Amino acid sequence: MSKQDVVENPKSITSRSGNPIQVDLDSVNLQLENKSSSEIINWAQTTFQEGLVLSTSFGIQSAVMLHLATSVVPDMPIIWVDTGYLPEETYVFAENLTKRLSLNLKVYQSPLSPARMEALQGKLWDSDEVKSLNLYDQIRKVEPMQRALRELKAQAWLVGLRRGQTEHRKTLSTVTQQDKLLKVHPILSWNNRDIYQYLTKHDLPYHPFFDLGYVSVGDWHSSRPLMLDDTNERDTRFKGLKQECGLHLDLTLGGSKSLDSSTL
């Protein structure tokens, strides 16, 4: 599909030149159904060109998507939302991967510093109320990400979500619409074995917390290793109270759905 294609019931994404890019989600998902991850990324690059971005959290398996995407589009803008509460190991991991893969990294943070937020709102993460945890995610993650997408004039957003991660992600297709953007999921069908094989083949590292028993890592105060009695890997984040942080939900749903940090 090219930018000039006009199809029935299209989703229109406005390009930087002001011209609409017509994308029919049903048709595109059928077209990409049996394509490899690299082919999916190549389709996204051909379709959206400079309007394509990737996000990362430099989590446990982030090296996979970073390597996959930059192998196809070396200079792709990569958004990293730094909450200000990441473990020291995450910052070192991010620095090393950025240098190794020559990433075109764009770092975004909340305009509200951690100290100021704590003074005005308290330690929002230290709560058993989902409302407080959602406010934390809105301040430290969702607002910076939405600002990044606007400032970078993103039309499509590559993410490393996988169906096995949360109930919401089980419902996703390869290409979906979130608010005014298209989301592209190149490794949606991958399992843990696929991840391991890709990392091994390309000699890529896991986040160092993997060796400490973590299957997901976010902020230092809201992540823990996987325990034998955990029924879901997501129980290791925010006391198991949340499943999505809002980054990967429509803005209209972000305030009403249970949320949890992305493993990207």
Q: First-to-last CA distance in the chain?
A: 28
Q: From CA 73, how far away is CA 112, in angstroms rounded?
A: 33
The residue assigned the tokens 């089980």 is 170
Residue 129 has phi, psi (to 5 degrees) of -100, 125
- What whole-number distance in Å separates Cα of residue 76 and Cα of residue 101? 12
**Residue tagged 């230290």 (tokens):** 126
- The Cα–Cα gap between 107 and 100 comes to 17
Ranges assigned E (strand) in the chain: 11-14, 20-23, 52-56, 77-81, 104-108, 156-158, 175-178, 181-184
Q: Residue 245 catalytic?
A: yes
Torsion sign over Cα 16, 18, 20, 25: positive
Query: Which of the following is catalytic: 101, 245, 247, 259?
Result: 245
Please tell me the distance from the alpha carbon of residue 119 to that of residue 75, in angstroms, as a whole number: 39
Tell me the C-alpha distance between 3 and 120, whole Å. 47
- Residues with catalytic annotation? 245
